[in-house]
Amino acid sequence: MEMLKGQDNFSVVNGAKIVRSLRIKRCPDCYTNIPVHATKCPSCKQKIKLKVDKHGYAKRPINWFAYFSCFISWLGLVIYIWWAFFKE
């Protein structure tokens, strides 16, 4: 846990950066310490990636459903505006 507080995840030896291996990572939603190989947080049940950023936090997967539903909503709004105001 002390490694995650303000310390970088690499060491500099003879001018070259050497990445240290982490044993734990933090959930980006609930900030719980979890094993580095976990793909789901045991505390909040959110999916997380195996990758860890430079601060020791797990990365969130991309929520493609949210992007798709946002696109469909905007498309529906544009079609409605066209139908209500510009259709002859």
Segment 29-81, tens digit of pLDDT: 888 888 888 888 888 988 888 888 777 788 888 889 999 999 999 999 999 99
Mean pLDDT for the stretch of residues 10-34: 70
pLDDT value at position 73?
98
Alpha-carbon distance of 15 to 18, in angstroms, equals 10
Determine if the pTM surpasses 0.75. no
Which tokens sit at 9?
């995840």
Is 60 or 1 the better-scoring residue by pLDDT? 60
- HSE of 72, CA atoms in CB hemisphere, 13 A: 6
Residue with tokens 């909040």: 44
pLDDT value at position 71?
98
In sequence order, the 6+-apart residues with CB closer than 8 A to the CB of 11 are 17, 18, 20
